[in-house]
Structure 1
Amino acid sequence: MKESISNANFPRDAEDRVYHISVKTGDVANRVLTVGDHVRARRIAKHLDSEEETGHPIFEKQSQRGFLTITGRYKGVPVSIMAIGMGNCMMDFFVRETRASVDGTLAIIRFGSCGSLTTEAPPGAVVVPAGGYCIRRNIDYFADEPIHPEIKDHAYLFSGVFKADDEITDILSSTLNEALAPVVAETHKVGPVLTGGLNADGCSFYSSQGRQDEVFWDDNKDLVEEIHTKYPNTHSIEMETSMLFHLARCARDPTKPIKAAGCMQVFADRVNNAFIHPDQVDILEPIVGQACLDALIKIPIENEMEAVGTVWEPISK
Structure 2
Amino acid sequence: MIAASELILNPDGSVYHLNLKPENIAHDIIFVGDPDRVEKITHLFDSIEFSTQKREFKTQTGNYKGKRLTVISTGIGADNIDIVLNELDALVNIDLETRKIKDKLTSLNIIRIGTSGALQPDIPVDSFVISAIGLGLDCMLRSYQSETVTIPFLENAFVKYTNWNPNKGQPYAVACSEKLAELLGNPSIYKGITATAGGFYGPQERVLRLALQDEKLNSKMDSFNYKGTKITNLEMETAAIYGLSALLGHQAISLNAIIANRSNGTFSSNPDATIEKLIDYVLTQISKKGTQI
TM-score (norm 2): 0.79
- Residue 212 of structure 1 aligns with which residue? 207
- Residue 221 of structure 1 aligns with which residue? 215
- Residue 238 of structure 1 aligns with which residue? 235
- Residue 99 of structure 1 aligns with which residue? 89
Instruction: Say what the alpha-carbon RMSD is for the aligned residues.
Output: 2.5
Residues 14-65 of structure 1, C-alpha deviations (whole Å, 9 max, x = no match): 2221111110110011100110112221011011113xxxxxx5311011x2
- Residue 59 of structure 1 aligns with which residue? 50
Query: Is 1:212–1:221's contact at 8 Å kept on the other side of the alignment?
Result: no
Q: 1:25 aligns with which of 22, 27, 52?
A: 22
**Separation in 1 of the partners of 2:283 and 2:16?**
27
Higher relative contact order (CA 8 A, sep 6+): 1
Tell whether 2:44 aligns with 1:43.
no
Counting only pairs closer than 5 Å after superposition, residues 64-143 of structure 1 correspond to structure 2 as 65-102=55-92, 104-136=106-138
Aligned-pair CA distance for 1:155: 5.4
Return the letter of the residue paired with 1:7.
A
- Residue 251 of structure 2 aligns with which residue? 259
Query: Matched residue pairs, number?
Result: 254
- Residue 273 of structure 1 aligns with which residue? 265
SS of the residue aligned with 1:80? Answer: strand
Return the letter of the residue paired with 2:173.
V
Query: Is 1:31–1:297's contact at 8 Å kept on the other side of the alignment?
Result: no
Residues 120-148 of structure 1, C-alpha deviations (whole Å, 9 max, x = no match): 212111111111111148xxxxxxxxxxx
Q: Which moved more, 1:265-274 or 1:18-27?
A: 265-274
**Separation in 2 of the partners of 1:297 and 1:92?**
28
Query: Is 1:268–1:274's contact at 8 Å kept on the other side of the alignment?
Result: yes
Rate the CA distance shift 1:267–1:284 in 2: closer, same or farther, 3 A.
Answer: closer
**Separation in 1 of the partners of 2:182 and 2:255?**
12
SS of the residue aligned with 1:90? Answer: helix
- Residue 309 of structure 1 aligns with which residue? none
**Separation in 2 of the partners of 1:84 and 1:153?**
29
Query: Is 1:155–1:220's contact at 8 Å kept on the other side of the alignment?
Result: no
**Separation in 1 of the partners of 2:138 and 2:172?**
12
- Residue 294 of structure 1 aligns with which residue? 284
SS of the residue aligned with 1:26? Answer: helix
Structure 1 or 2: larger strand share? Answer: 2
Aligned-pair CA distance for 1:300: 8.1
Considering only CA atoms, is the larger Rg found in Structure 1 or Structure 2?
Answer: 1
**Separation in 1 of the partners of 2:244 and 2:177?**
12
SS of the residue aligned with 1:124? Answer: coil
Return the letter of the residue paired with 2:203.
S
- Give percent identity, aligned residues only: 24
Structure 1: 5+ residue stretches without partners? 1-5, 51-56, 138-150, 178-191, 252-256, 305-317
TM-score (norm 1): 0.73
Rate the CA distance shift 1:296–1:8 in 2: closer, same or farther, 3 A.
Answer: farther
Query: Is 2:225–2:231's contact at 8 Å kept on the other side of the alignment?
Result: no
- Residue 163 of structure 1 aligns with which residue? 175
Aligned-pair CA distance for 1:166: 0.8
**Separation in 1 of the partners of 2:73 and 2:15?**
16
Structure 2: 5+ residue stretches without partners? 94-105, 140-162
Show structure 1 runs of 4+ deviating over 6 A.
none
Return the letter of the residue paired with 2:35.
H
Query: Is 1:135–1:202's contact at 8 Å kept on the other side of the alignment?
Result: yes
